[in-house]
């Protein structure tokens, strides 16, 4: 499905990003596996890709640092698929949010994503694909989640604007908004009791798995999704 395509997946050393990278590779794409600090985990993802007959390369940078990111991305000559997955979540009541907390989330989730996209834009070939990973938190009233939700809502706005701007090149731009998905990050920021509550409220009766999100992303990267752009696909098991 993606033979001869070249992909970049940010935040691909674990969780949803790792699942997306391995899924695209199984479809035939050469995958640039981006990571910031987790070298061992990124190497494991690349080893899994190669063990399954695919290929890829590692790219290391903290995308919240723009100059380092620009330099790291110079190794990419051409690109067909960009999956903006790298991000972080933290929660806290309005009165406790520090400037450092606010800037940290926006520098990675929003500013970093924007300038990664800008840096590879001229390398992105005609009829390419951009998939931005957001979060279901933008659709709910989540106490303590204002900064994280806002950082992701901005990404959804990017999607709509970029879809209009890049459409003449045949490039589609879409958002995927996962619901509760079992990852290390989710377990770091969510209590076991709340996870059980969310499981009971999900029509499909379970939490999402990274592969559930990866399958949706792979579809959006395929030719079958050529007429889908400026959309936000809710991959959340039916949570309202």
The string of pLDDT tens digits covering residues 55-103 is 999 999 999 999 999 999 999 999 999 999 999 998 999 999 999 999 9
Where in the sequence numbering do the catalytic residues fall?
Answer: 148
Q: Which two tokens stand for residue 215?
A: 């399958």
Q: Which CATH architecture is the domain 6-235 placed in? A: 3-Layer(aba) Sandwich (3.40)
Q: Write the DSSP assignment of 120-174 as a string of letters.
A: HGGGEEEEEEEEEE--GGGGS--TT-HHHHHHHHHHHHHHHHHHHHHGGGT-EEE
Which pLDDT does position 186 carry in this prediction? 76
Cα(161)–Cα(199) distance, integer angstroms: 34
Q: What share of the chain is helix, strand, coil (3-state, %, to 5)?
A: 50, 20, 30
Q: Span 155-173, mean pLDDT?
A: 98
Q: Using an 8 Å Cβ cutoff, are 138 and 177 in contact? A: yes
Q: Which two tokens stand for residue 154?
A: 């901005």
Q: What is the CA radius of gyration of the chain?
A: 17
pLDDT tens digits, residue range 104-156? 999 999 999 999 999 999 999 999 999 999 999 999 888 999 999 999 999 99
Share of the chain above pLDDT 90, in %: 87
Residues 6+ apart with CB under 8 A from 237: 179, 202, 203, 204, 206, 207, 208, 212
Cα(162)–Cα(144) distance, integer angstroms: 29
- Going from N- to C-terminal start, the domains of the chain cover 6-235
């Amino acid at each position: 499905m993606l033979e001869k395509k070249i992909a970049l997946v940010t935040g691909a050393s674990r969780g949803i990003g790792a699942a997306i990278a391995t899924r695209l590779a199984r479809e035939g794409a050469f995958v640039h596996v981006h990571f910031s600090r987790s070298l061992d985990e990124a190497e494991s993802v690349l080893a899994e890709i190669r063990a399954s007959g695919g290929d890829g390369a590692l790219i290391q940078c903290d995308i919240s640092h723009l100059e380092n990111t620009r330099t790291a991305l110079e190794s990419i000559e051409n690109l067909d698929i960009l999956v903006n997955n790298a991000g972080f979540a933290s929660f806290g009541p309005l009165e406790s949010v520090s400037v450092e907390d606010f800037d940290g989330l926006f520098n990675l989730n929003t500013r970093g994503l924007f300038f990664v996209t800008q840096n590879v834009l001229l390398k992105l070939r005609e009829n390419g694909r951009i998939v931005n990973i957001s979060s279901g938190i933008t659709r709910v009233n989540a106490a303590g989640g204002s900064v994280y939700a806002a950082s992701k809502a901005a990404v959804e706005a990017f999607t709509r604007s970029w879809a209009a701007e890049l459409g003449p090149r045949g490039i589609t731009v879409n958002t995927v908004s996962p619901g509760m998905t079992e990852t290390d990050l989710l377990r770091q920021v969510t209590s076991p009791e709340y996870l059980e509550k969310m499981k009971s409220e999900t029509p499909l009766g379970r939490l999402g798995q990274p592969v559930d999100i990866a399958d949706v992303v792979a579809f959006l990267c395929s030719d079958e999704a050529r007429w889908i752009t400026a959309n936000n696909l809710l991959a959340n098991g039916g949570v309202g």
